[in-house]
């Protein structure tokens, strides 16, 4: 019998607070609905700091099997003037996250940037602990450390 592999550790990296407008219904069919939640601004603090730029959005697909798919696409301008592209995917299976009804979910953010000092964002794996509120979503971003 083999033993289970060691679990990776998580190291806190930064927090993103994305301000949002109310969702806009886009499509409804076969028990599913898709809505877009506009991202209007926000802040970033931690290992990087800056602002979430307006113009991004969060696409939420409420599936007919009770699961929820979330795909957010937006960008950050750091306090140093660097630009970071963010794609953040989340998925909630029915019954897998008891707090999901309260707006809590997990995600897998990915980052792109040409900034030399931020290449670590493009080279590592991250997970996010997100919580949605009426006016904003807060994502605590953790680096997965092997």
Residue 42 region, left (φ>0) first, then alpha (ψ -120 to 50), else beta? left
Look at 52 and 101; give whichever has higher pLDDT.
52
Q: What is the DSSP letter of 48?
A: S
Q: Which CATH number is associated with domain 9-145?
A: 2.40.160.20
Give the pLDDT of residue 102: 57
Beta-ladder partners of 70? 60, 90
**Whole-prediction pTM value?**
0.90
pLDDT digits (tens, 9 = 90+) for 20-62: 999 999 999 988 999 999 999 999 999 999 999 999 999 999 9
Q: What pLDDT band is residue 146 in, cutting at 50, 70 and 90?
A: confident
Residue 105 region, left (φ>0) first, then alpha (ψ -120 to 50), else beta? beta
- Span between the terminal Cα atoms of the chain, in Å: 23
Distance CA 15, CA 142 (A): 9
């Amino acid at each position: 019998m083999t033993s289970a592999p060691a679990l990776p550790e998580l190291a806190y990296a930064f927090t993103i607070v994305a301000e949002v407008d109310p969702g806009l219904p886009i499509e409804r069919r076969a028990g599913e609905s898709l809505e877009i939640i506009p991202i209007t601004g926000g802040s970033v603090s931690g290992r990087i700091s800056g602002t979430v730029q307006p113009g991004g959005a969060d696409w939420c697909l409420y599936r007919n099997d009770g699961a929820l798919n979330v795909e957010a696409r937006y960008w950050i301008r750091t306090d140093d003037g660097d630009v970071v592209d963010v794609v953040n995917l989340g998925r909630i299976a029915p019954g897998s996250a008891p707090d999901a009804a309260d707006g809590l979910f997990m995600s897998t953010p990915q980052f792109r940037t040409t900034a030399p000092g931020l290449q670590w964002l493009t080279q590592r794996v991250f997970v996010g602990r997100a919580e949605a509120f009426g006016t904003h979503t807060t994502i605590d971003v953790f680096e997965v450390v092997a």
